[in-house]
């Protein structure tokens, strides 16, 4: 606000009062309530004010301005001095306000910086916490990875141990199977050797039985021949006895007695020979039974695996292996049976 000093104080007072009334009237008309400014004579002047005072209705508080002017004139001060002092005080207040605003701005800037620092600290703490959390997660992940690797290695070791154990078991099973196969092969060889030995023993027994049958057949033929000879001798003796009896009747009693004694003696001898012949026939019967038993044993010895005949070392030592040109066991048994039947027929059985 700028007010220029008038030449006459009383006239100025009157002019100010009239200006105050006009300002109040203008204030009631103005809806926006503008500020009042007193400027030089070039401004738009109100018709109610003097020529040297111009009032603009753009002030905030017109009553306060006029009160201030009235106080100034009441204190017998010039308007310029009062305005100058008021301007100085206003400038001081403005400087103080600016200083306060500056301090306020600095304070706000300090608060903003402090908030920014706090935000930075919080951000740093958050970053630190995030970094710690990230480090923790990385550590946990590393621990999990290490645990997984250890578990994987442990699983690999367990799998290797299992494979090694399985390989050992399979090796043991293969060894057992090989041992079992070796035992089976050895047992088969032993059974084969046993069967071959049994066949060899059977052949030897058959050959021995064949020889014994031939020998006994020869003995039977010889006994039969001897029996025939004895029978012929007996018949001849009987004929001679009949002739002797017939001749005894014709000869002398002494000769008859001698011949009768000789005849009785001869009859006794013949009876003894006949008893001997019966014994031989009994022996032949026993021999025939033995031949049948030998033939039966020969048939049983032809079976290799199912044979239950037990031979001693003495029996085996007496058996001679048959040659290649000899007959088989079955043919030998058949021939032996035929020979026994022929011997039975010859003996009258």
Instruction: Kindly report, residue by residue over 185-212, the tens digit of the pLDDT.
Output: 888 888 888 888 888 888 888 888 888 8
Please tell me the predicted confidence (pLDDT) of residue 200: 86
| pLDDT-derived band at 59, boundaries 50, 70, 90 | very low
Q: Round to whole Å and give the CA distance between 108 and 112.
A: 6
Phi, psi dihedral angles at 59 (to 5 degrees): -90, 160
287 token code pair: 């021999």
State residue 68's pLDDT score: 58
- For residue 349, pLDDT over 60 is answered with no
**Residue 337, pLDDT score:** 64
Task: Yes or no: say if 245 and 255 are a contact pair by the CB < 8 Å rule.
Answer: no
Residue 19 confidence (pLDDT): 56
Q: What is the pLDDT of residue 90?
A: 78
340 CB-contact burial (10 Å; exposed 0-12 / middle 13-18 / buried 19+): buried
- Tell me which range, 43-52, 75-84, 205-214, 299-308, is most confidently predicted by mean pLDDT: 205-214
| Alpha carbon distance 207, 321 (integer Å) | 8
Statement: residue 104 has pLDDT above 50 = yes
Mean pLDDT within 66-86: 62
Structure-model confidence comparison of residues 83 and 307, the more confident one: 83
Domain ranges of the chain: 9-77, 200-346
pLDDT in tens, 133-186: 888 888 888 888 888 888 888 888 888 888 889 888 988 888 888 888 888 888
């Amino acid at each position: 606000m700028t007010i220029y000093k008038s030449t006459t104080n009383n006239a100025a007072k009157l002019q100010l009062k009239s200006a105050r009334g006009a300002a109040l009237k203008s204030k009631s008309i103005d809806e926006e309530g503008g500020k009042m400014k007193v400027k030089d004579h070039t401004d738009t002047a109100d018709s109610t004010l003097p020529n040297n005072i111009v009032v603009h209705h753009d002030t905030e508080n017109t009553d306060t301005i006029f009160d201030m002017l009235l106080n100034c004139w009441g204190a017998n001060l010039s308007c310029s001095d009062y305005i100058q002092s008021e301007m100085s005080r206003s400038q001081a207040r403005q400087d103080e306000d600016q200083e306060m605003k500056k301090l306020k701005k600095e304070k706000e800037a300090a608060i903003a910086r402090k908030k920014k620092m706090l935000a930075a600290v919080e951000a740093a703490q958050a970053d630190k916490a995030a970094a710690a959390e990230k480090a923790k997660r990385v550590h946990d992940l590393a621990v999990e990875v290490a645990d997984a690797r250890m578990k994987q290695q442990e699983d690999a070791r367990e799998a290797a141990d299992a494979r090694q154990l399985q390989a050992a078991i399979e090796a043991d099973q293969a060894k057992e199977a090989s041992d079992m196969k070796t035992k089976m092969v050895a047992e088969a060889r032993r059974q084969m050797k046993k069967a071959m030995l049994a066949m060899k023993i059977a052949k030897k027994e058959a050959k021995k039985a064949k020889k014994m049958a031939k020998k006994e057949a020869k003995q039977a033929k010889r006994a039969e021949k001897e029996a025939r000879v004895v029978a012929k001798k007996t018949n001849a003796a009987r004929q001679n006895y009949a002739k002797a009896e017939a001749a005894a009747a014709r000869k002398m009693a002494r000769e008859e007695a001698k011949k009768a004694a000789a005849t009785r003696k001869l009859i006794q001898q013949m009876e003894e020979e006949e008893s001997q012949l019966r014994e031989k026939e009994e022996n032949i019967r026993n021999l025939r039974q033995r031949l049948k038993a030998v033939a039966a044993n020969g048939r049983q010895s032809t079976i290799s695996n199912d044979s239950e005949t037990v031979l001693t070392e003495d029996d085996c030592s007496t058996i001679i292996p048959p040659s290649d040109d000899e007959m088989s066991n079955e043919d030998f048994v058949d021939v032996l049976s035929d020979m026994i039947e022929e011997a039975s027929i010859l003996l009258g059985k």
